[in-house]
Amino acid sequence: MPDPLQEYDYFLPPGRIAHKPRRRGCSRLLVMDVHGGRFFHRRIRDLPLWLRPGDCLVLNDSRVIPARLWAVKMPTGAGIEVLLHRQLRAGCWEALVSPSRRLRPGARLRIGPKTAEVVSLGRWGRAVLQFSPAGDWSRFLAQNGEPPLPPYIKRFHPNRGSRDRKRYQTVFARLPGSVAAPTAGLHFTRAQLRGWARRGIKIVCVTLHVGWGTFSPLTPEAMTKNALHPERYRISRSAANAVNRCRRLGGRIIACGTTAARALESSAAPDGTIRPGAGETSLFIRPPYAWKVVDGLLTNFHLPRSSLLLLASALAGREQLLAAYALAVQKKYRFFSYGDAMLLI
């Protein structure tokens, strides 16, 4: 049976993966004129060269929680890595555990002052954990958790999470709930956003809490059902009004990141009107996709065969996007979460 994701593979030399971020506001920016097929090499500070007064830049203001925990299996003392990714109810979380082969349902883990029982265990190390005691989560995570950096980011110093607590967080992060950063927003400084707003670019925030659906490996089941693991989102009435007004007046909607794009498209009526409210989305954007709201996308360079790469392909076209990736490799752009940025417009 042919592999549908084979067309979304590409070669990336290991040296192009960014293990450390650039200083905020200084990332490189590869701009693709989607219709003209042209490319421009700039910096993130040059973004307003491609945005017009009246355009709307939509950010995801979800805040990353310190969701990576280090557990000890009881009574053997074996080390287990736990990545929380969605709270089901008080003290009960969906999580990824590694190595999962050491665990069975009913196993007990010790994490700081809490114990966790493995309620169920599934594929890819997915598990449901019941913690005891159940309360006081913000303090527990602050004291025991680390930033949930992707596994391709390597840290070799003992206190490996300390510098990332601030850097793996956007400057406009507000509502806690993500277990991975909405990385397109990591490039900006507050001063840049204020300056662009003074130039007439409307800055709007929506919320999508990044979870398993964004970074999980694509499976044949996901491709068949055309749906990702659900993620929570919220669009305020003021944000919906701002986006709708921008569209009525002829401005363009530029999503900062794939998560902002999914939140907008998930809340859109058939005519493209944004509806305020909160909910869950399993929307899987891939070619061919009829965009209702988004006119442009600022995003990072994504993993091969990922849902994020497919989303960007739905806007730029697969062949043109992969040509841009090949150019980015040639020009030594930095890839993935702490890497450089790309504007599709």
Give the tens place of pLDDT for each residue, 187-199: 999 999 999 999 9
Q: pLDDT by residue for the chain (345 residues), tens digit each?
A: 568 788 999 999 999 999 999 999 999 999 999 998 899 999 999 999 999 999 999 999 999 999 999 999 999 999 999 999 888 888 899 999 999 988 999 999 999 999 999 999 988 788 999 999 987 888 999 999 999 998 888 765 434 556 899 999 999 999 999 999 999 999 999 999 999 999 999 999 999 999 876 667 787 777 888 888 889 999 999 999 999 999 999 999 999 999 999 999 999 999 999 999 999 999 999 999 999 999 999 999 999 999 999 999 999 999 999 999 999 999 999 999 999 999 999
Task: Dump pLDDT digits (tens) for 137-167.
Answer: 889 999 999 999 988 887 654 345 568 999 9
Task: Dump pLDDT digits (tens) for 311-329.
Answer: 999 999 999 999 999 999 9
State the angle between helix axes of 307-316 and 258-266 in degrees (0 to 180), rounded to the nearest 10: 70
Q: Which residues contact 218 (CB under 8 A, 6 or more apart)?
A: 5, 305, 306, 307, 310
User: In this structure, are residues 264 and 314 in contact, taking their beta carbons and an 8 Å threshold?
Assistant: no
User: In this structure, are residues 298 and 192 in contact, taking their beta carbons and an 8 Å threshold?
Assistant: no
User: In this structure, are residues 208 and 182 in contact, taking their beta carbons and an 8 Å threshold?
Assistant: yes
3-class secondary structure, 267? coil
| The residue type at 47 | L
Task: Dump pLDDT digits (tens) for 227-240.
Answer: 888 899 999 999 99
Report the chain's C-alpha Rg in angstroms.
20
- Cβ of 331: how many Cβ atoms within 10 Å? 12
Please tell me what DSSP assigns to residue 159: S
Query: What is the distance, to the nearest Å, from the Cα of residue 10 to the centroid of all Cα atoms in its chain?
Result: 20
Q: Say how far apart CA 269 and CA 144 lie, in whole Å.
A: 42
Q: Say how far apart CA 6 and CA 292 lie, in whole Å.
A: 28
Which domains does the chain possess?
A: 9-64+166-344 (3.40.1780.10), 68-144 (2.40.10.240)
* Residue closest to 170 by CA, chosen among 298, 324, 2, 36: 298
Question: How is residue 304 written in tokens?
Answer: 């091969």
Report the length, in residues, of the chain.
Answer: 345
Strands 108-111, 114-121: pairing kind: antiparallel
With b for 16 or more beta-carbon neighbours within 10 A and e for fewer, the 76-108 pattern comes to eeeebbbbbbbeeeebbbbbbbbebeebeeebb
| The residue type at 323 | A
What are the beta bridge partners of residue 300? 341
User: In this structure, are residues 311 and 262 in contact, taking their beta carbons and an 8 Å threshold?
Assistant: yes
With b for 16 or more beta-carbon neighbours within 10 A and e for fewer, the 170-202 pattern comes to bbbbeeebbbbbbbbbbbbeeebbeebeeeebb
Residue position matching structure tokens 């058939």? 270
